[in-house]
Structure 1
């Protein structure tokens, strides 16, 4: 019945081949980077029994898609094969990721869309970040019973008060309207069929479910969907989400207003205001204030991209409310002063860590939603400011951290003191990169925040709501640029990035990972541009993330490879692992490179988060 509904309402016949989306265990389309080769160069964390084999890297022509999921990447490639452009393929891929990666993305969340138009040579962006409800108050995160902030996890993240007004669907609609060639209904068709037919459960999906078992069990509607019989779906079984198929079919039929107005909007607002908590649960699940008026009033923001020059390349990123474009850009400007290609790896990595610490210091001091905060974007991205920050770096010794923020009007090495806020941005999210045969490109990062979002499913609708408002500073400070305010977008670290070489696409890159997104994108660019790695090697290489803390979070392989070499610099490395799971991985990148004569390399993670999939339209022989 669901398949008939999809066929009848959204014209799936135009994409009939997508009705038979291959399972995630299909054979590779082209050459892969194997887990063994990753281990050889220090990247990845090893596979698990039951993990899906992945085509992590493909090379060829005619267009490319890279994402964390095989089914989603195949959907995007099919759109490109059938004449769609990069924007079309990005929306279709993102919709599919909302099915297969429901704990990281979906219509209950938001994100940032960066688009390069090959004909005009312009880079444009869409800010589809979630917004705070109009009724939110500065003390929204304070428990009235104690007068103290709610414990961040699991209480605050699993609540109505953490839910922002979702922007993903509005982003898809705006992207297709501004840049695409296909209808939203047509681009939703593969996701509808994928939700109805189901996809194979792998280790990553099961483990993410188990990591959230206590939270999901607290909400009966969520438990019914993701914990059937009280357990996470078994590896190798097929997970179907007919409720989501029906919801997407409704949106395909009626457009975005099906979510932002009418019955579904009322259901979303009701869940936020009245969380459906199991009476036996000890979670307080504080209620939020979102109303149908908040949903009806939501709008994306289209704005100029950030831009810096690095080694003769033009690097474009996302402007605030994301901090990604400015932080990556500032760090690259600092590194521009150093010839990393002629030094040893430890010296280059030391400078990378020091540059990152300063970018994060300035991020904390100056960045927030520009509708509410006067963000000094031009200054922060200037080479003069980066030079002043660079002169505070000792090339042979680590700084005492946290380092102070840079003075905006300084000459020389001046800095200003500021209070470093706690980093609560979670590691979940997902990213996709697309390049089409005309040279258009998309870097799109989307999220529902924590793995599993707020843990609240809209009853009978098949999707999770986000917990993005926890990206605001949890303790209100009237001088904090990221303080809670009505209708404000919380600061994000998402860093979808497009790099141009003489006006044409060279690299498209992005990653999930909370605040580690910035360092992941920065390190991949440095690996590829400065350290002589191929793109697959740059993606697979072990990572470290310095976010202006006294120690640097690093993957175990990074510590093994570089710990002793960085010790003389005073760099202290500690094993990575987020506060919600035992995962030691940093990021899950998806990237594309355009090489000589248009040769495309689509490179995704070979191992991290179960391995991603990079595909091309016409594989190279």
Structure 2
């Protein structure tokens, strides 16, 4: 067990709650909810809380709250700042998912700002003449980039839910881009993963590396004046400041000069989609999470539905781990087989999150023996890029945001468009470049997630809420395909009434159907637990490093206390208002 975060903070807040279940159609997900009466006086928050992956981003959000903004305004400020100070994880060149809750309407909404494939993209985009996949162009450079959704999300939130203009909410990010931020250890670590790729692109190297084209030293300032200019265009002109006009011309010219396929129409036609979240009930709690094109909500719902058939607290740790792994295995099998962009494929959401399916699945779980994943007879799995960012925001009115943002691999495609400061994503690699062929991780996808014009690639990003009469939890993390299992383990910690520091600090394990192995952080299991799991037929792999960067907030409505924590593995910070 990792130590509880030293950034734990207590405040007083409260919120109301619903219970519901979701069903899906080709165009989205509909939800019917039944209200649960509240029995607590703490339904009106007294303070606000923010947890994010960087202190500067957290402070930017708190400053907006202090200026009279709400949680949605603060979320814009946090996300914009993260795009500056975490250029390896998020930014204007990427997209993300925003799970928001409007307190006055008592309504949760999922804002899909995922990247879209360019209009001239096609299923064979990354295939060589011999039919094999060209991994390099699928991961590096302009051709790997989908049309970004981040700027559109800022505009959508500001115009529909916020109280302040973008000129205010983007001001901190613009200042940070102009004045620079000091290099920190996590920046150095993440840039190390993509150093050689960044060297290939002079614009990227000139911004993010030192003058010897190496990782900058601690404390060196990373200044991004071109990014400040682009952010200012959005602050001044809204949607047109990024997707039309001079910014769009610069972006398209830079992409096309580097063999990319963006057009001005691709940018001008980008659209945000509001979707109904996935909602299920688990042991008296409503779990609200991300619908397709995220696979997270469906997978979390499926796992929890299976676990609801057991009394977890009666099991020892090895048996509990075995059972949780068996539910992970089955949920990820369904993920690989059925999930994709719901605007392009029929996703059988209602069936996948039904208790009937869960009950049928658990009949095949043997508590004494690991299931062979191939015996489940599903397709092979896919895995996304492993670096993303997450933040959580709660304001004094009870509005809240759980947002997970990404450009896929660290520094995305490693390509920065000249004169814009925009680091492009490589989210096109989240598609199945060829059904039956592996992606950058040697894993295989299926036809439901094949490349198509204007389609959104499947994702594991899982911003979530957990609600009951007693508490509200906001939770999410980066981590590629491990996001789902991290969030699910965090939810279980919350339901066991563990403090928020335990959610973000607990040691983690993961199974994703294929490869058929339990991946885990160092020191997750004792020698006796490893022996017990291996005796059941499990294969274990210590991945040799910690992973994830969870940002969470817990609101205890019985006492009015709120705790907020940032993952101790990284550089984040949680704050509350005075």
TM-score normalised to structure 1 length = 0.83
Match of 1:191 in 2: 173
- Whether the 8 Å contact between 1:43 and 1:542 is mirrored in structure 2 is no
2:301 equivalent to 1:329: yes
Instruction: Give the distance between the partners of 2:517 and 2:56, measured in 1 at CA.
Output: 38
Match of 1:540 in 2: 505
Instruction: Give the distance between the partners of 2:293 and 2:190, measured in 1 at CA.
Output: 28
Match of 1:305 in 2: 277
May I ask how many residue pairs the two structures share in their alignment?
Answer: 532
2:447 equivalent to 1:480: yes
Match of 1:284 in 2: none
Question: Compared with structure 1, are the counterparts of its residues 117 and 424 closer, same or farther at alpha carbon in structure 2 (3 Å cutoff)?
Answer: same
2:64 equivalent to 1:79: yes
Instruction: Give the distance between the partners of 2:435 and 2:261, measured in 1 at CA.
Output: 18
- Whether the 8 Å contact between 1:403 and 1:548 is mirrored in structure 2 is no
Shift of 1:455: 0.5
Q: Report 1:300-379 matches (<5 A).
A: 300-379=272-351
Match of 2:242 among 255, 259, 279: 259
2:548 equivalent to 1:587: yes
Match of 1:466 in 2: 425
Match of 1:385 in 2: 357
Shift of 1:75: 1.3
Shift of 1:253: 1.3
User: SS in structure 2 opposite 1:506?
Assistant: strand
Match of 1:509 among 475, 478, 486: 475
Question: Compared with structure 1, are the counterparts of its residues 527 and 232 closer, same or farther at alpha carbon in structure 2 (3 Å cutoff)?
Answer: same
Match of 2:252 in 1: 269
2:160 equivalent to 1:178: yes
Instruction: Give the distance between the partners of 2:94 and 2:158, measured in 1 at CA.
Output: 18
2:524 equivalent to 1:563: no
- Whether the 8 Å contact between 1:140 and 1:161 is mirrored in structure 2 is no
Instruction: Give the distance between the partners of 1:563 and 1:181, measured in 2 at CA.
Output: 53
Once the two structures are superposed, what CA deviation does each residue of 1:577-619 show, in whole Å capped at 9, x if it has no partner? 7xxxxxx22211111000133211111111x2x332111113x
User: SS in structure 1 opposite 2:451?
Assistant: coil
2:20 equivalent to 1:69: no
Q: Report 1:580-619 matches (<5 A).
A: 584-595=545-556, 596-606=558-568, 608=569, 610-618=570-578
Match of 2:134 in 1: 150
Shift of 1:250: 2.0
- Structure 1: gaps of 5 or more residues: 1-40, 45-53, 276-286, 405-416, 578-583
Instruction: Give the distance between the partners of 1:300 and 1:371, measured in 2 at CA.
Output: 13
Question: Compared with structure 1, are the counterparts of its residues 336 and 403 closer, same or farther at alpha carbon in structure 2 (3 Å cutoff)?
Answer: farther
User: SS in structure 2 opposite 1:525?
Assistant: helix
Match of 1:131 in 2: 116
- Whether the 8 Å contact between 1:67 and 1:604 is mirrored in structure 2 is yes
Instruction: Give the distance between the partners of 2:148 and 2:282, measured in 1 at CA.
Output: 34
- Whether the 8 Å contact between 2:141 and 2:413 is mirrored in structure 1 is yes
Match of 2:201 in 1: 219
Shift of 1:560: 4.7
Instruction: Give the distance between the partners of 1:460 and 1:288, measured in 2 at CA.
Output: 17
Instruction: Give the distance between the partners of 1:164 and 1:505, measured in 2 at CA.
Output: 38
Instruction: Give the distance between the partners of 2:305 and 2:77, measured in 1 at CA.
Output: 35
- Whether the 8 Å contact between 2:336 and 2:446 is mirrored in structure 1 is no
Match of 1:91 in 2: 76
Residue range with higher mean Cα deviation, 71-80 or 427-436: 71-80
Shift of 1:343: 2.1
User: SS in structure 1 opposite 2:524?
Assistant: helix
Instruction: Give the distance between the partners of 1:496 and 1:234, measured in 2 at CA.
Output: 33
Q: Report 1:51-66 matches (<5 A).
A: 56-61=7-12, 62-66=47-51
- Whether the 8 Å contact between 1:210 and 1:232 is mirrored in structure 2 is yes
Match of 2:15 in 1: none
- Whether the 8 Å contact between 1:60 and 1:616 is mirrored in structure 2 is yes
2:391 equivalent to 1:432: yes
Question: Compared with structure 1, are the counterparts of its residues 565 and 183 closer, same or farther at alpha carbon in structure 2 (3 Å cutoff)?
Answer: farther
User: SS in structure 2 opposite 1:114?
Assistant: strand
Once the two structures are superposed, what CA deviation does each residue of 1:198-225 show, in whole Å capped at 9, x if it has no partner? 2221111122223222101101111111
- Structure 2: gaps of 5 or more residues: 13-46, 437-444
User: SS in structure 1 opposite 2:310?
Assistant: coil
- Whether the 8 Å contact between 2:251 and 2:420 is mirrored in structure 1 is no
Match of 1:554 in 2: 520
Instruction: Give the distance between the partners of 2:542 and 2:420, measured in 1 at CA.
Output: 39
- Whether the 8 Å contact between 1:357 and 1:403 is mirrored in structure 2 is no
Shift of 1:114: 0.6
- Whether the 8 Å contact between 2:137 and 2:143 is mirrored in structure 1 is no
Instruction: Give the distance between the partners of 1:539 and 1:402, measured in 2 at CA.
Output: 32
Instruction: Give the distance between the partners of 1:84 and 1:200, measured in 2 at CA.
Output: 27
Shift of 1:505: 5.9
Once the two structures are superposed, what CA deviation does each residue of 1:414-465 show, in whole Å capped at 9, x if it has no partner? xxx33214x2411101000111111111110001111010111010222200
Match of 2:463 among 473, 496, 503: 496
Shift of 1:538: 2.1
Shift of 1:178: 2.3
Q: Report 1:17-32 matches (<5 A).
A: none
